[in-house]
Amino acid sequence: ENAALLKAIIENAIDGIITIDERGNIESINPSACKLFQYDPQEVIGKNVSILMPQPYRQEHDHYINRYQTTGKAHIIGIGREVTGLRKDGTQFPFRLGVSDVNFSGRKIYTGFIHDLSREKEAEDKLKEYA
């Protein structure tokens, strides 16, 4: 069945996948994203996605979403961005964020795809030490 297949794909994806509603509240999070941010699903579902990012983004993120909803002008959707995530233990990590805008049963949700860049960044920093 289609829904079961989709669920299996999302559950086993290497990248983190998070969906939020139009207010920024987390509706779903896959195991990869839980591992990256060190949370169990029940700790973050219903919370604002901004808990997963450091300041100043944490404070501004609702405005970013509102601005997109009022102007229709995307800054990350369909483009992507390298951003910083905040883990439960307070440490930060870089990742590539892709966001898409999804019309799902008559309402809008956003899906975020999270590709960890920690290893690449570490290698880059090591190279810079020798440069």
Q: Point out which residues bind ligand HEM (CB under 6 A).
A: 18-20, 49, 52-53, 57, 61, 64-65, 68, 74-77, 83-85, 97, 99, 110-112
Candidates 14, 10, 11; CA nearest to 119 is 14
Identify which of residues 56 and 106 has a Cβ nearer to ligand HEM in the complex: 56
Q: Give least dist CB 99 to ligand HEM, A.
A: 5
Q: Which two tokens stand for residue 75?
A: 């800054």
Identify which of residues 79 and 126 has a Cβ nearer to ligand HEM in the complex: 79
Residue whose beta carbon is closest to ligand HEM: 112
Separation of alpha carbons 97 and 75, rounded Å: 12
Q: Give least dist CB 97 to ligand HEM, A.
A: 5
Separation of alpha carbons 50 and 72, rounded Å: 21
C-alpha dihedral, 34 to 8 to 95 to 25, nearest 10° = -60
